[in-house]
Amino acid sequence: MSKKKSQNTESLIGSSPLRLDGREKVTGEAMFTDDFQFGPRMLHGRVVRCPHPHARIMYIDTSKALALPGVRAVVTGADSDDHIGLYLKDRFIFCKDRARFVGDPVAGVVAVSEEIAARACELVEVDYEVLEPVLDPVFGAAPSAPLLHPELEEYVCASYIDPQPGTNIANHFKVRKGDVESAWEKCAAVVERSFRVPHVQHVPIEPHIAVAKVADGGQITLWSSSQSPFAQRNLIAEALGLSQSDIRVIAPYVGGGFGSKAGVSVEGMAVVMARKVPGFPVKLRLTREEEFTCSFVRQALVAKTKVGADKDGNLLAMKTEYFWDAGAYAEYGVNITRASGYSSTGPYRIPHVWADSYCVYTNHPVGGPMRGFGMPEIHWGIEQIMDLVAEELGMDKVEFRLQNCLQGGDRNVTGMVMHPIGLSECIRKAAEAIEWKKPAIPTSPNRKRGKGLAIMWKAPAMPPNAGSSAWVRLNEDATVSIGLGGQEIGQGTFTVAAQMAAEVLGVPFDWVRISTPVDTRYSPYEWQTVASRLTWSMGNAIVDASRNARTQILEFAAEHWGEDPADLDIHSGEVVSYRSERSMPLKDMVIYGLPLPDGEGWHGGPIIGHGNFMPTYVTDLDNETGQGTRAVVHYTTGCQAVDLEVDTGTGQVTIHKIASAFDVGKAINPEQVRAQMEGGVVQGISTALLESLQFKDGQPANAGFVDYRIATSVDIPTEIIPIIVEVPQDDGPWGARGIGEHPMVPTAPAIANAVAAATGVRILELPLTAEKLYLEMESAEKSEV
């Protein structure tokens, strides 16, 4: 037998996603299904919500609601102690003195049925003093705007968040690099535009739902559809003045999240309600109407950008102002503002940069994380204005981007040296896939055809010390159980986790089980399932735990045989020696150990491996310049290219082909990577052509699927071409980095650029609806006459 030292990294590439086998997923040890029953003692909660965008709460009378038969309790702001929030603690679980958006929770009713709870909500009397609202972020940032959070100076926030007390600006992130003003005179082309992005909703099929129960001793158990069980435990404990050890969060599989189920939303309310009725589980579920405006929405954005390039097509200067509509509370949105600031140039090499990114309180619903975390919003403007600069210079848009895009070794907008990336390869391959240089021929006389592309970058937007941990336990039959705290939300995390453990341990993939549901009492810590970070961060922890278990096995097998552990390996579930060519199965030995010679005892024992990972190399950025050694752990980059047609009689856009090329470092499971690219394209098309939450004087106007349309099968392009580029990440498992959010980022600007190429009409405000495009084309025709 020849000596083989390295793991076979190809053996798992292309493994199929985990199969469903009856009621239990192949990797699932426990399911949050019928096994968890709450019984006839289950109570139900509903929420009294403010009908005004901005109002002072004068008094609340709950007596009539409490008198309704079947009502067990009513809670108000008096029942929660402190502010809650991830990056900025700026909101109460229930409003105390002021409500700041239509739907802000003012009181909660607990009853024996959801119907009785809803009727009781109508009996809660609240006296409001209606206040002037702020409904636009640019106005909200002005000194003349009504102050929505007078207590801003008192709020606790992360060290890298910079609130501006006495204003509506919850965070101000600045970039000052080079000398922007002196650079304009050196530019042969200067383009300045303003772009707008509306609020949109995540619309997961499963609404927000939580069940909370308080034991007689005060210990709390919370079952929640959550991307953030550990963060929920921590934030709720801090807000209620409890020990984290007294709160247990159990998180089963999530029926769609896209960021909306990160952090805390309904879960805090469910806990406060349950504290009023100890011993009884309380279930709180958002209606579909509540889902649209009472959970996180994607922040709206007004972007004002100016870009200049010299006569040779080299980008010289960029000046940007971002006014983020954070909504009523900015506890999560402040970090979106920060991420957009340190990514404000897009993946371009620009020597002179001035950027101001403002997180502005308004009286709209709460802006929070959504797939892309600010990057789809800022790239909407960045990638259109880059097309306009290229047009001014008479340059091909592909060549312009290849000339100016970042390469490994370049210094980016914050002064960070870029790690190796494959962005240039992504641009070339995406352009080739839609035959960029081939003329686009319309399919009929009433259609105009065009091609466009957009590039992107995105880093995991997270605290510098967001950590992951894992454990790996071998069972008697040598199957492997993995404990992890990351959540499966349909992105395939559990499949990749099983692949990684199997590869390191040298066992077949189908021997691996994921211990579910995630349970903060028993599962190892994970910061959150956000930021496209699990393959990279949690993956590193799983690899570390698996290596730890592997080392234990090889060391005691080597002791048993009297050999060097360096001469041993594990393959197909057996320990093998390349020196003596002996082998023995893992079965039984990984639990019971092995006998010593002559019956003199045993050695070894149950194998459990532990691992963790936390990046240690992210540095602070200067508060005044935004410059620093390493702003983020890494960037994922990519490009999308679109071939489409526009019906001149209706404005309807038909996408024939979209190529989606991304540098993923290493595709642990190529089929799942391609699926992420396809799903991101469809969601990107949806927000590009269809989606917009609309408000009239702060009141939601389309909070339901009747008036809020999302993309369906009829909107999918004729052909989606996913292209995998692999330039390994130095700190990723096998070089891997995340790809979950990124395919949604460049879709809208790529479509806008293709529409402009086809029609000559450029739309600067999302969405690109057929009506809007038709009217713009009609207006353009009239102006030519």
The whole-number mean pLDDT for each consecutive block of 10 residues of the chain, a chain of 785 residues, reads: 35 36 33 56 97 98 98 97 96 98 98 98 98 98 98 98 98 98 98 98 96 96 97 98 97 94 97 98 97 97 98 98 98 98 98 98 98 98 98 98 98 98 98 96 97 98 98 98 97 97 98 98 98 98 98 96 97 97 96 91 94 98 98 98 98 98 98 97 98 98 96 94 98 97 98 98 98 96 79
Distance between start and end Cα atoms, the chain: 83
Burial of 324 (0-12, 13-18, 19+ CB in 10 A): buried
Q: How many angstroms separate the CA atoms of 454 and 418, rounded? A: 20
Cis peptide leading into 420, omega within 30 of 0?
A: no
Report helix, strand or coil for 478. Answer: coil
Q: What is the pLDDT of residue 1?
A: 34
**Residue 181 CB partners (closer than 8 Å, separation 6+):** none
- DSSP 8-state assignment for residue 534: I
Residues 127-151: b if buried by 16+ CB within 10 A, e if exposed: ebeebebbbbbeebbeeebeebbee
Name the helix (H) or strand (E) containing 671: helix 670-689
3-state class (DSSP) for residue 63:
helix
Give Rg (Cα) of the chain. Answer: 28
The number of helix segments (H) and strand segments (E) in the chain equals 17, 35
pLDDT of residue 81: 84
pTM: 0.94
Spell out where 103-160 has E strands.
105-111, 125-130
Query: So what's the pLDDT on residue 781?
Result: 87
Dihedral angle computed from the Cα positions of residues 523, 20, 371 and 691, in that order, rounded to the nearest 10 degrees: -140
Residue pair 769/391 in contact by the 8 Å Cβ criterion: no
DSSP 536: I
Burial class (CB in 10 A: 0-12, 13-18, 19+), 179: exposed
Cis preceding linkage at 365, omega within 30: no
pLDDT for residue 621: 98
Is residue 135 within 8 Å of residue 53, measured between CB atoms? yes
Q: What are the structure tokens assigned to 686, written together? A: 């949806």
Residue 768 CB-half CA count within 13 A:
27
> Could you tell me which residues are beta bridge partners of residue 480?
474, 512
State the residue for tokens 């096998």.
734
- Residue 219 structure tokens: 């210990």
Residue of 429, 452, 453 whose CA lies nearest to 440? 452
